[in-house]
Amino acid sequence: MSILRHSHTATSLQAMKSHWGALSRRLLTARAGPALQNGWVCQSCRGQARRKLFSSSAALREAKDKPYYVTTPIFYVNASPHVGHLYSMLIADILKRWQVLRGRPAILSTGTDEHGMKVQRAAELQDVHPKALCDANSETFRDLARKANIANDHFIRTTDPEHRDAVEYFWGRLREGGHVYETKHEGWYCVGDETFYPDAAVEKRVSPLTGRAFMASVETGNAVEWTEEKNYHFRLTAFRDRLLRFYADNPEWVVPSNRFAEVVSWVENNLEDLSVSRPVSRLDWGIPVPDDPSQTIYVWVDALINYITVAGYPLWPPGSEHAGGWPVDVHVVGKDIVRFHSVYWPALLMALDLPLPRRILSHGHWLMSRQKMSKSVGNVVNPFFALDRWGVDTMRYFLTYNGAMANDSDYSNEFIVDRYKKGLQGGLGNLLNRITRPKNWSVRAAVTNMAGKKSEVLPEVVGTQRRHIEQIAGKAAAHMEELNPSGALKEIMEFVFETNRFLQDAAPWDKSKEGDTVAVDQIVFYAAESVRVVGILLQPFIPEKSAELLDRLGVSHDRRTLKDAELFADDSYGTSLVPLGEGAQSSLFPPIPVED
């Protein structure tokens, strides 16, 4: 062990007692009663009457007025953010913003996973203390969230003292319930995936760069190494039947369905007890096992608990357990970590009789020219550069529109330019200009004149557009209920394209030349209503540009909720709140200066 690691280990051991005592005092304060003896609480608490610190989990399950709670994975700090991290953040952000649009309080949590072998080795290679590496790289992920306009309420770090408290308490309850035992473990361990694999899940491969043979995970292709060590195991196999019953009772729990089928198959055929600690001699950068400083808690157990740390665990006052959002409504995860969230995590929660997540949304990876992004190949997309080059809302639009849940998605600058030109510039921006910029009619006059004519008989082309307006919010909402932001965005944009066709067919400029003011008011009003509803619906997807669109249309800031996204819901708009400008450069979506 290096001097640096020895110093870190000694510091960890010295801090352990103070953590235990501090959390015991906090629990006593929160509960006004004796702390639960679970193998690690302070000596002054030992021997007191045992009591359950929380009200029954049934109270949590029955909580219907809790805030909507959505999470991203917490991201490893051993490397810089990539476009896949941005995509996870974005999908969770859209889900949160949609709930806010509906008028429901919502919580979004993201953060960084800062313990484990990958981080320890990265720090050793850079000859820095792991915490210094974590501090620097964690801030980079926080910067990415800010830059991408992610409306996160929490940014958790697994090195936070509150999280350590929650992990130690969680571990104590597992031990108390007999769910953890000590044994010798042999198996294939993957540092890159931070997990053990059974023999059936590894294979021999040859490196295309060096020509050397190595053992690798069949699932991820990452190298594995044979490991023999004494550690603690979680009785995962004891929850096999309960997990399968839960899956059967909740057939839409993991989205998409093809990935859920893989989860069920894995539990049926590959389930083993889970190694939940590593010897300090191998891994000292993590949370020590309470009462056994020779072991470090497995990074995935540590990491998964972040979701309830954010929700206030274990300091849940009776009757207010759901105030922090638990149980989570949606965990957004990449396809490579589905098993951890849909097998290990629910089993751990079952062991403590805590409510399970309501949904798991798993998305595919981003590829470059159909190849997995890799530093060695040189095709990794820097999300900061992409946001600077194309703009925040352009990137949000492209990733949402082109991203997929069931399959991987291809990233290229050519695709971004194509989506921008066809959807944003030629579709939405052009539509807004066609309605608001002409001098031969007034949007405000059309809105005023049509306000009391809900039952007016309309020409067929206008009547068809009216029906489209009446349906679009419901169609978008249906996709969002299915956790399909891409489907919702495509539905909205198809309505934009349809509205452009409506304007072309109805030709209000011709009606204006003919002096048919009634027809002009009808056409302009239903076109303006279309754009107003679209602007409201697009707020979760492209928040800055949709706000600007609504400003240009003159929609008041207090009339931009989902309830307002209905025909005739607002008769006060039509006078722009900002200068409309002239020419392409002052449009909502100006031409791209450099396209390649």
- Per-residue pLDDT at 27: 54
What's the rounded Cα separation, in Å, for the pair 244 and 266? 11
Q: DSSP class of residue 592? A: P
pLDDT of residue 322 exceeding 50, the answer is yes
Tally of CB atoms within 10 A around 16:
19
Q: Mean per-residue pLDDT for 559-570?
A: 98
Kindly write down the DSSP assignment for every residue of 514-572, as one continuous string: TT-HHHHHHHHHHHHHHHHHHHHHTTTTSHHHHHHHHHHHT--TTS-SGGGSSTTS--S
pLDDT of 199 reads: 79
Higher pLDDT, 174 or 210: 174
For residue 495, pLDDT beyond 70: yes
Q: How large is the average pLDDT for residues 193-215? A: 81
CB 593 within 8 A of CB 574: no
pLDDT beyond 70 at 33 = no
What pLDDT sits at residue 454? 87
Tens digits of per-residue pLDDT, 453-484? 888 899 999 999 999 999 999 999 999 999 99
pLDDT value of position 377 = 67
Region 574-585: mean pLDDT is 92
Of 58-67, 150-159, 293-302, minimum mean pLDDT range: 58-67
Which residue did the predictor score with more confidence, 375 or 197? 197
Average pLDDT estimate for 229-243? 96
Of the ranges 228-232, 302-306, 422-426, 489-493, which one carries the lowest mean pLDDT score? 228-232
Between CA 550 and CA 568 the distance in angstroms is 16
Point out the least confidently predicted range of 24-38, 136-150, 410-424.
24-38
**206-232: average pLDDT:** 83
Closest residue by Cα to residue 98 from 357, 359, 485, 423: 485
Average predicted confidence (pLDDT) for the chain: 89
Cα–Cα distance between 464 and 460 in angstroms, integer?
6
pLDDT in tens, 521-549: 999 999 999 999 999 999 999 999 999 99
Distance CA 103, CA 581 (A): 33
The pLDDT value given to residue 535: 98
> Is 90 exceeded by the pLDDT of residue 35?
no
Residue 226 confidence (pLDDT) above 90: no
- Model confidence band, residue 374 (pLDDT cutoffs 50, 70, 90): low
Contacts of 98 (CB under 8 A, 6+ apart): 480, 485, 540
> Residue 523's pLDDT is what?
97
| C-alpha to C-alpha distance for 263 and 333, rounded to whole angstroms | 14
More confident residue, 49 or 134: 134
- Has residue 16 got a pLDDT over 60? no
pLDDT band at 31 (very low <50, low <70, confident <90, very high): very low
Q: Is the pLDDT of residue 15 over 50?
A: no
Mean pLDDT score, 346-351: 98
Mean pLDDT of 314-338: 93
**pLDDT tens readout for residues 414-441:** 999 999 999 999 999 999 999 999 999 9
Beta strands in 235-370 (DSSP E): 254-255, 274-275, 277-279, 288-289, 292-297, 330-334, 360-363, 366-368
Range from 98-102, 224-228, 328-332 carrying the lowest mean pLDDT: 224-228
If you compute the radius of gyration of the chain from its CA atoms, what whole number of angstroms results?
28
pLDDT value at residue 14: 47
Residues forming beta bridges with residue 216, ordered by sequence position: 203, 223
Q: Does pLDDT of 256 surpass 90?
A: yes
The answer on pLDDT for 369 being more than 90 is no
**How much is the pTM?**
0.87
